[in-house]
Amino acid sequence: MPPADPDEPQWNQDDADWLVGKYVLVGVRYFASDGITELRLEQCHGRIVAADESGIEIACEGLKRGEKMWLPPHLPAFTLADPGNYELRSTGEIIKDPDVLTTWDIMHDQESSKT
Q: Quick one: pLDDT at residue 113?
A: 46
CA 11, CA 37: separation in Å to the nearest integer?
Answer: 32
pLDDT tens-place values along the chain, 115 residues long: 555 555 555 789 999 999 999 999 999 999 998 888 989 999 999 999 999 999 999 999 999 999 999 999 999 999 999 999 999 998 999 999 999 999 999 998 755 444 4
* Torsion angles phi and psi, residue 64, rounded to 5: -105, 20
The distance of Cα 77 from the centroid of its chain, to the nearest Å, equals: 7
The Cα 91–Cα 74 span in angstroms is: 26
Give phi and psi for 76, each to the nearest 5: -65, -15
Rounded CA Rg of the chain: 15
